[in-house]
Chains A and B, each alone.
Chain A
Amino acid sequence: MANVQFDLVSPERLLASVEASEVQIPGADGDMTAMEGHAPTITTLRPGVLRVVHSGGTDEYVVSGGFAEITAKGVSVLAEQALPRGEMTQEVFNAMIADAKAAMKSAEEVFKNEPGPVDDAAKLISDMVAMGGHIGLTSN
């Protein structure tokens, strides 16, 4: 089976660059799996777990926000925050949740009569909580 070139970059570093057979992406509208020959797509990400299947096994990364660029030959994920799942501890998770809650609070203050941004912030929090539940971390 042909492989795709998978790159995961965050603003601070290049996290991974491997040949993968499939990449599971937590898209904003739902999860999707990209394999070789996928239609060129750009999608935004929601906080979630990114799974990369390659010849050496499966790698998992926790991403929060950003976007993915998929072409027939490659997948580039540009994540605002990304870390290997192993480095995702309860403390990091708590910090992420706290950030999201602070963002929601400021959104509530700035956009009093416009529900849009506040709803977005609320969705961000619930996505994060769902992701936490998925990998066995709890939010308090």
Chain B
Amino acid sequence: MPSLKDLKNRIASVKSTRKITKAMQMVAAAKLRRAQDAAEASRPYTDRFNTVMDGLASGAAGSASAPRLLSGTGSDQTHLLVVMTAERGLCGGFNGNIAKLARSHAQKLLAQGKTVKILTVGKKGRDVIKRDLGDHFVEHVDLSAVKRISYHNAQSIAKDVLVKFDAGEFDIATIFFSRFENVVTQHPTASQIIPAQFEAVEGGETSLYDYEPSEEAVLADLLPRGVATQIFAALLENAASEQGARMSAMDNATRNAGDMIDKLTIEYNRSRQAKITNELIEIISGAEAL
């Protein structure tokens, strides 16, 4: 049985924890708004880009002269996994879910005898998968100093990936991130970026356009940009998901702290009452004995 003083201290400590989680929840809510706005703002670009790419790629995919970014290297021996997670914790299962998906994917590939290389973005995911897949790490991108994800960040990651691809270090690249559905649901997602995958559009659409300088040149110019665009979109989705996950995790924590305070307060009152009753009994029995 803890003493009254212990209980009082305990209640005070849980109360200050609740204050912190409440503040974190509100900060996450504000950041979520901003992250969602950023994701929203990038959508027109991504949509249009994909429409044009779909048209171009479906025209070029069949031809033998298609760029390697589109047709692949002809092998699928070496896989590069780009695992994007948060730089900070306290966001529920967010980092764990992405890492879990990446890990199961990697283990499946390893079981098939493929070579796996891992590029991590964000240190939390790196810590999680380090234990079993640490030997496969090739590079790490640190975004902890970045307050607001800009296209520039995506471009530099894309450049890293493309340089590795040109150097023949891998055949297939897949990115892992969390797709933002709403505040309570985020789906960990894997999406292949090299070789590029595009939805085929019905024929005829492509021949409508004149291409300047030429269809091949435009395609060769756009494919690397496509990689950056996809990484950028994934980073934005991830940022929104992270804040959403943190918001609901902190909401839960605030509620749990509230429950705990209620329980502790009841316990405190009961033991205070018990103490008073005890004292009364002592006084009364003392008076009776006289």
Query: In whole angstroms, how far apart are the Cα atoms of A80 and B14 in the complex?
Result: 50
Query: In whole angstroms, how far apart are the Cα atoms of A11 and B42 in the complex?
Result: 5
Q: Which A residues lie within 8 Å of B12 (CB)?
A: none
- A77: shortest Cβ distance to chain B, in Å? 10
Query: In whole angstroms, how far apart are the Cα atoms of A41 and B46 in the complex?
Result: 19
Q: Is residue A5 within 8 Å, beta carbon to beta carbon, of the partner chain?
A: no
Query: In whole angstroms, how far apart are the Cα atoms of A28 and B218 in the complex?
Result: 10
Query: In whole angstroms, how far apart are the Cα atoms of A80 and B222 in the complex?
Result: 11
- B154: shortest Cβ distance to chain A, in Å? 8
- A116: shortest Cβ distance to chain B, in Å? 10
Q: Is residue A84 within 8 Å, beta carbon to beta carbon, of the partner chain?
A: no
Query: In whole angstroms, how far apart are the Cα atoms of A69 and B211 in the complex?
Result: 10
Query: Are B212 and A44 in contact, CB atoms less than 8 angstroms apart?
Result: yes
Query: Are A110 and B167 in contact, CB atoms less than 8 angstroms apart?
Result: yes
Q: Which A residues lie within 8 Å of B46 (CB)?
A: 11
- A53: shortest Cβ distance to chain B, in Å? 21
| Chain A interface size, under 10 / 10 to 19 / 20 to 34 / 35 or more | 20 to 34
Q: Which A residues lie within 8 Å of B229 (CB)?
A: 11
Q: Which A residues lie within 8 Å of B159 (CB)?
A: 106
Q: With A41-B210, A41-B212, A44-B212 in contact, is A67–B150 under 8 Å at CB?
A: no
Q: Which residue of B lies closest to A12 (CB)?
A: B151
Q: Is residue A21 within 8 Å, beta carbon to beta carbon, of the partner chain?
A: no
Query: Are B209 and A41 in contact, CB atoms less than 8 angstroms apart?
Result: yes
Q: How many residue-residue contacts, CB under 8 A, span A and B?
A: 80
Query: Are B44 and A39 in contact, CB atoms less than 8 angstroms apart?
Result: no
Query: In whole angstroms, how far apart are the Cα atoms of A34 and B35 in the complex?
Result: 35
Q: Is residue A48 within 8 Å, beta carbon to beta carbon, of the partner chain?
A: no
A37-76 vs B, CB cutoff 8 Å, 1 = contact: the mask equals 0011111100000000000000000000111010000001
Q: Which B residues lie within 8 Å of A40 (CB)?
A: 208-210
Query: In whole angstroms, how far apart are the Cα atoms of A56 and B222 in the complex?
Result: 33
The secondary structure that dominates the B interface is helix
- B96: shortest Cβ distance to chain A, in Å? 29
Query: In whole angstroms, how far apart are the Cα atoms of A42 and B151 in the complex?
Result: 23
| Interfacial residues of chain B within 15-74, with CB under 8 A of chain A in the complex | 38, 41-42, 44-46, 48-49, 52, 56
Q: With A44-B217, A67-B52 in contact, is A9–B209 under 8 Å at CB?
A: no
Q: Which residue of A lies closest to B222 (CB)?
A: A67
Query: In whole angstroms, how far apart are the Cα atoms of A14 and B225 in the complex?
Result: 18
| Interfacial residues of chain B within 228-268, with CB under 8 A of chain A in the complex | 228-229, 232
Q: Which A residues lie within 8 Å of B211 (CB)?
A: 41-43
Q: Which of B150, B209, B225 contacts A42 (CB 8 A)?
A: B209
Q: Which A residues lie within 8 Å of B213 (CB)?
A: 28-29, 43-44
Q: Which B residues lie within 8 Å of A28 (CB)?
A: 212-213, 217, 221
Query: Are B42 and A110 in contact, CB atoms less than 8 angstroms apart?
Result: no
Query: In whole angstroms, how far apart are the Cα atoms of A12 and B154 in the complex?
Result: 11
- B3: shortest Cβ distance to chain A, in Å? 59
Query: In whole angstroms, how far apart are the Cα atoms of A81 and B45 in the complex?
Result: 12
30 A–B contact pairs at CB < 8 A? A7-B48, A9-B44, A11-B42, A11-B46, A11-B154, A11-B228, A11-B232, A12-B38, A12-B151, A13-B42, A14-B41, A14-B44, A28-B213, A28-B221, A29-B212, A42-B210, A42-B211, A43-B211, A43-B212, A44-B212, A44-B218, A44-B221, A44-B222, A65-B225, A67-B222, A69-B48, A80-B151, A106-B159, A110-B163, A110-B166
Besides A43-B212, A65-B225, 11 new A-B residue pairs in contact (Cβ under 8 A), listed by A number: A11-B228, A11-B232, A12-B38, A14-B44, A27-B212, A40-B210, A41-B211, A42-B56, A44-B221, A80-B151, A80-B225
**A positions within 8 Å CB-CB of B:** 7, 9-14, 27-29, 39-44, 65-67, 69, 76, 78, 80-81, 106, 110
Which 4 A-B residue pairings sit nearest by Cβ, starting from the closest? A43-B212, A11-B151, A41-B210, A13-B41
**B positions within 8 Å CB-CB of A:** 38, 41-42, 44-46, 48-49, 52, 56, 150-151, 154-155, 159, 163, 166-167, 208-213, 217-218, 221-222, 225, 228-229, 232
